[in-house]
Structure 1
């Protein structure tokens, strides 16, 4: 057979496999094997089993879900059966993901972004062929189910980005990525039926919309909304008010700026440039925008903190892992990995391991340090290493926090290193964190389970229609009135906040 024909046949077979994959059926024995395998891995590796949900409750839930596996079931039904066990951990770093290529080029997504105002849901960006669905269209139902009901189900199906019983992270991600969550939970659909009300109209209308592929979605949204969707680069500075000497530092991620940069030098250089600019421009009020920052490298969060922390500090009080996690950090192909592990970790009283490096101290930067008023714009997607920055700043008695509660806990989280477990038959993937990271903070200085806002700000309908940055708008009003939550300015007392209008969702 010629090479061209072979490649063509191979491509056809792969394409058929991708089309057939969603229809996979698991026998009861296969489903039980996968489920037992996952439970064993969680018990062995996860450092937070029993932390948020007591172990007896986890065991009861496991037994209940296992006992349902008595007959063959399709792949998506099994995915739904596994989800409650993973979400019961209430750990935002533990993620249940579909098997490889389940979500792919042929997957079709809902053709719009939605945003909430009060208890209603509105289309903010439309990529469907029906251009009458402009911003401000109230979305009532999708395939005969209310949007509110769908949103609650999607929130409950995935605990990613939200620790404990905190709802802000789950609410934020399930709305920002509503189309992704919908496809993951309900599967790909060629089209959907919706009911809606146009802006300024009371008539309930109904239509059917074709769902685009990811490529089609991206192409249309760039063409229709490209200018307003462009975001400021990570670690960029912009002056937003010359009268009050106010600037915004956008910190979109604590991940490295370059793929091959193990020491994170590029991030450190860009950070230095940002604070040199702040000093050069005589910025007195700094707004640190960490909305949507899902975290990254703890070293980079420490580097940011160095620019305003008043004295030497530690990020972590303790880093712990289970006994079995050691095997995940030692690789056969690297003979030095065992030695490296021994240098970094030691046995602890619980039978696991703790880090020898968690007590590392960081010195504040004196050159280019920021000594003015700090404001943080945050939301539920401010997670992991981002919450570390917020918690350490709060612990130091600094900052004014604006927006909504962060996604991670004030005390710390489960993260550090990860193991992705692939279930034998379904090929579902579960990412398991291997470390319990405890922040070096004083518990009594917490303002809630997470880092809570001093000023809660939510979207209004006018904010939606004008695409206004309503959190920044509110923060600038605080600055202009001299309101500082933890470093009151004598000339403008904190009571000035009482004159601020309440921003309603």
Structure 2
């Protein structure tokens, strides 16, 4: 077992070592993952595993083995199960593709250029990168990693692989000193080509801060801004459901900040509230429930069921801490199916009264809206509330596999796999679903003009709806908003 401390890219695994890693991973998935068979039949996963196992019959390098393992993780179709490189594979010396890339109408453009060649300005079309067309490359990367995307949904995979294009590229192809690109400058049909040096992450960030400092998004989480006084419209940006403090087990800081935001919403007499949850990958479910309390019309539950396999208990109970066993018994009970279920699943969250928002709700969402964000979207849709703008979120309407996680390290390659331990089923009615994910009422995509301007095209579209008085689902109860004036 083990191959010493060779650099990851130079590491060579023998067939026996690769087999040992695959068997170890399969064992841990069988033992811990609560969703095996949910999206892909277990028989199909078994066949795939056998094929992957049998096809390693010669020494294989580290990156080749990473590519080899990836289909097994992807077959689960679970956005919370992630294959990650060994520690320090991507480090301070790693070099990245020097662009932020955005897609519009099937073509790919530079939105921000961190290379030394400043002639490749915003709106430059990228045609090929190291000999691969951008549509081909994007498809490869979005199929290589299903993080943030449940089931057969494409929006999450498409969104994250584009937003984090440089990271995905480095993860799949490794560090690269330079890239050969074919491109067309804005308003020019001439196909040009050049080779560009690739920066480290530190240089990438430094150049971005220098060239695009006025574009740096400095909006804090849970920030409120009035965007249209005539229609009394405000935007509440919810970028994460993680609290601002590193150690805050009861998430008090998030709770206080959320309350302050809705005090501001009430003081400004907001009648149309736009919740911007674009690229909000989730966080603490308790915080998603706290947000819902400000508009849900009656007491509600977030989850119908929270279940885990019996082996998950060993991951949550620390034998060196006797209190952990007591705590586990207080939180979980045997479910009668060979596992455990959460005792507090049926907890009711009561709506806020004094700061309750009773106006129109609009949600800006995309494939990066995932996990706890999907919980908010699903519960609001289930309540018959909200107007949804953008694209389908990354998570499933029914729920997901999350809650607690175990990161396992494969014994020889040292690759890491994050495995969720709980199956979380939303307390929602299937009849209220508008698709596998929460689907938009109004699908809005980026145009080339949006690439050039960098504007928030979803917000612009939503403001147009509000000015026309369009709300797909009106508030459950109404109030004389004019009395607040």
Post-superposition CA distance 1:425-479 (Å, at most 9, x none): 0000000000000000001100000000000000011111111110000000000
Match of 1:301 in 2: 288
1:419 match: secondary structure: strand
- CA distance in structure 2 between the partners assigned to 1:188 and 1:438 by the alignment: 40
Match of 1:401 in 2: 388
C-alpha displacement of 1:332: 1.5
Post-superposition CA distance 1:286-313 (Å, at most 9, x none): 0000001000000000000000000000
Match of 2:470 in 1: 483
C-alpha displacement of 1:21: 3.1
1:375 match: secondary structure: strand
Give the alignment partner of residue 307 of structure 2, picking from 293, 311, 320: 320
Dislocated runs of 4+, deviation >6 Å: none
- CA distance in structure 2 between the partners assigned to 1:226 and 1:69 by the alignment: 49
Q: Does 1:76 align with 2:63?
A: yes
Match of 2:163 in 1: 176
Post-superposition CA distance 1:471-490 (Å, at most 9, x none): 0000000000000001189x
Give the alignment partner of residue 287 of structure 1, picking from 250, 274, 292: 274
8 A contact 2:385–2:475 mirrored in 1: no
Q: Does 1:233 align with 2:220?
A: yes
Give the alignment partner of residue 375 of structure 2, picking from 376, 388, 391: 388
- CA distance in structure 1 between the partners assigned to 2:131 and 2:263 by the alignment: 55
8 A contact 2:359–2:475 mirrored in 1: no
- CA distance in structure 1 between the partners assigned to 2:202 and 2:222 by the alignment: 29
Q: Does 1:44 align with 2:31?
A: yes
Instruction: List gaps (5 residues or longer) in structure 1.
Output: 1-15, 490-505
Q: Does 1:276 align with 2:263?
A: yes
Match of 2:43 in 1: 56
Give the alignment partner of residue 244 of structure 2, picking from 242, 253, 257: 257
Q: Does 1:450 align with 2:440?
A: no
Match of 2:192 in 1: 205
8 A contact 2:360–2:475 mirrored in 1: no
Q: Does 1:27 align with 2:27?
A: no
- CA distance in structure 2 between the partners assigned to 1:291 and 1:440 by the alignment: 23
C-alpha displacement of 1:229: 2.5
Match of 1:10 in 2: none
Against the structure 1 CA distance between its residues 265 and 488, is the aligned structure 2 distance closer, same or farther, given a 3 Å change threshold? Answer: closer
Give the alignment partner of residue 143 of structure 2, picking from 156, 169, 172: 156
Instruction: Give the alignment's TM-score, normalised by structure 1.
Output: 0.93
| Aligned positions of 1:320-339 closer than 5 A | 320-339=307-326
- CA distance in structure 1 between the partners assigned to 2:457 and 2:5 by the alignment: 47
C-alpha displacement of 1:349: 2.5
Give the alignment partner of residue 101 of structure 1, picking from 88, 105, 122: 88
- CA distance in structure 1 between the partners assigned to 2:320 and 2:465 by the alignment: 56
Match of 2:345 in 1: 358
- CA distance in structure 2 between the partners assigned to 1:167 and 1:227 by the alignment: 32
1:358 match: secondary structure: helix
2:120 match: secondary structure: coil
- CA distance in structure 2 between the partners assigned to 1:219 and 1:81 by the alignment: 35
- CA distance in structure 1 between the partners assigned to 2:63 and 2:360 by the alignment: 51
- CA distance in structure 2 between the partners assigned to 1:80 and 1:341 by the alignment: 38
C-alpha displacement of 1:68: 1.0
1:249 match: secondary structure: strand
Match of 2:481 in 1: none
- CA distance in structure 1 between the partners assigned to 2:219 and 2:23 by the alignment: 46
- CA distance in structure 2 between the partners assigned to 1:71 and 1:310 by the alignment: 62
- CA distance in structure 2 between the partners assigned to 1:35 and 1:361 by the alignment: 43
Query: Structure 1 residues 257-266 or 90-99, which shifts more?
Result: 257-266
Cα RMSD for the two superposed structures: 1.2
Give the alignment partner of residue 207 of structure 2, picking from 210, 215, 220: 220
- CA distance in structure 2 between the partners assigned to 1:488 and 1:387 by the alignment: 20
- CA distance in structure 2 between the partners assigned to 1:178 and 1:50 by the alignment: 30
